[in-house]
Amino acid sequence: MAVITGLQTCALLNAAPQHAVALSPNSSSSSSSISSSALFLGVGTAALTLSLGSRVRAEEALSDWEQIPLPINPGVVLLDLAFVPDEPDHGFLLGTRQTLLETKDGGRTWTPRSIPSAEDEDFNYRFNSISFEGKEGWIIGKPAILLHTSDSGNSWERVPLSSRLPGNPVVIKATGEKSAELVTDEGAIYVTSNMGYNWKAAVEETVSATLNRTVSSGISGASYYTGTFNTVNRSPAGDYVAVSSRGNFYLTWEPGQPYWQPHNRSSARRIQNMGWRADGGLWLVVRGGGLFLSKGTGVSDDFEEARISSRGFGILDVGYRSKDEAWAAGGSGILLRTLDGGKNWVRDKVADSIAANLYSVKFVNDKGFVLGNDGVLLRYLS
């Protein structure tokens, strides 16, 4: 098929990966817990017992999440998290300032790790995305960097990236043995089946080129497009939904399509983020706190607003634990839960005391996490 310059089927990563280097700890950390007990003297009054029982029940109702202390510097924004499928309690957490943490107990404790081949440079990498399939894992970051492991993350190798790569890598997805899919903020999608030695383009042009052809087709705001995505999310089936940098429209792509498909937004307010529900439909959040759900499954332009009380704070991400249970997180530590697939949402006060924006909600098998700025990490307890 015809492919434009910069997205040609080519040996995107045409140099053999460097020798693997073992991870080495940067520092050690210790944690301590403080327990408290209540002492009752004599026979308490019924009112006191009732009051205490109500408080205990209220605390139990807010115990779905716990904040995990992390051995990182203040100001770090956590961006992604993944676990090794063959080792369910072994995972990695990454973010800005070249942050890479490892857990071997399901996320209860984390240890800093370093990659010498990345630290030898003058860049302070922002690690954007991580993904595992079996024992194989991938990390991408900005400035453009690609790392690969074949031994569950015990050692990582640096895979050279071509200077012709359009845009910055923002999402990496392990898709099978020696296989992965990489997406840039300009809409380039590449796939590899030989551990990153060669990459093939899955779309025929960047989003900017697509919009230059379709701006007259009625996509509102396309003439103001700056050429990059604000957010991009992948479904388990391999479909993508991305929000334009200004939030004035969104785009979708399904495997086999030659181009990204632009869509007008359903609300007058600009889009903050979009993603996929557990039933295969779309969720959409707008600036100012509104949340919309598409009707049916798959790609749709028909959305209806959900009943949600965000107190005016923007919702930044939504994560589904099941088709019925989902959690929404956002500015100033707001955290909300739905038990009916997203129609009704209730605020969970557990995060009210957290002075941080919560950027990402992740559910991995039986584990759940909320990631935020200033090194905030919440772990789901249920």
pLDDT in tens, 150-187: 999 999 999 998 878 899 999 999 999 999 999 999 99
State the DSSP string of 267-299. SSSPEEEEEE-TTS-EEEEETTS-EEEESSSSS
Q: Which of 142-151, 185-194, 199-208, 348-357 has the lowest mean pLDDT?
A: 348-357
Q: What is the pLDDT of residues 84-102, one digit of tens each?
A: 999 999 999 999 999 999 9
Helix (H, G, I), strand (E, B) or coil at 88: strand
Instruction: Compute the C-alpha angle 15/18/22, nearest 5°.
Output: 155
Distance CA 277, CA 360 (A): 14
Q: Which residue has the higher pLDDT, 6 or 209?
A: 209
352 in Cβ contact with 305 (< 8 Å): no
286 in Cβ contact with 230 (< 8 Å): no
Whether the predicted pLDDT of 190 surpasses 70: yes
Distance CA 76, CA 359 (A): 12
Distant-in-sequence, close-in-space partners of 58: CB < 8 Å, separation ≥ 6: none
Exposure on the CB side of residue 300, measured as CA atoms within 13 A: 17
Distance CA 379, CA 382 (A): 9
Nearest to 368 by CA among 332, 333, 329, 314: 329
169 in Cβ contact with 183 (< 8 Å): yes
Whether the predicted pLDDT of 21 surpasses 90: no
What pLDDT score was predicted for residue 216? 47
Alpha carbon separation from 319 to 117, 266, 282, 287, 300 (Å, rounded): 34, 21, 12, 18, 19
Distance CA 335, CA 337 (A): 7
CB neighbourhood size of 374 (10 A): 15
What pLDDT score was predicted for residue 46? 37
What pLDDT score was predicted for residue 307? 83
Using pLDDT thresholds of 50, 70 and 90, give the confidence band for residue 103.
very high
State both tokens at 234: 């992948």
Whether the predicted pLDDT of 12 surpasses 70: no
Report how far apart the first and last C-alpha atoms of the chain are (Å, whole number): 49
Q: Bridge partners of 80? A: 94
Q: What is the mean pLDDT of residues 325-331?
A: 93
E strands within 134-203? Answer: 136-142, 145-149, 155-158, 169-176, 179-184, 189-192, 200-201
* Sheet containing 377-380, strands listed edge to edge, beginning at the edge strand earlier in sequence: 65-67, 377-380, 367-372, 358-364
Using pLDDT thresholds of 50, 70 and 90, give the confidence band for residue 20.
very low
Whether the predicted pLDDT of 239 surpasses 60: yes
What pLDDT score was predicted for residue 43? 35
Distance CA 16, CA 225 (A): 37
Q: Bridge partners of 169? A: 184
What pLDDT score was predicted for residue 223? 61
State both tokens at 381: 């307890």
Q: What is the mean pLDDT of residues 212-229?
A: 66
Q: Bridge partners of 243? A: 231, 250
Alpha carbon separation from 130 to 39, 71, 181 (Å, rounded): 48, 20, 11
Helix (H, G, I), strand (E, B) or coil at 130: strand
Distance CA 77, CA 96 (A): 6
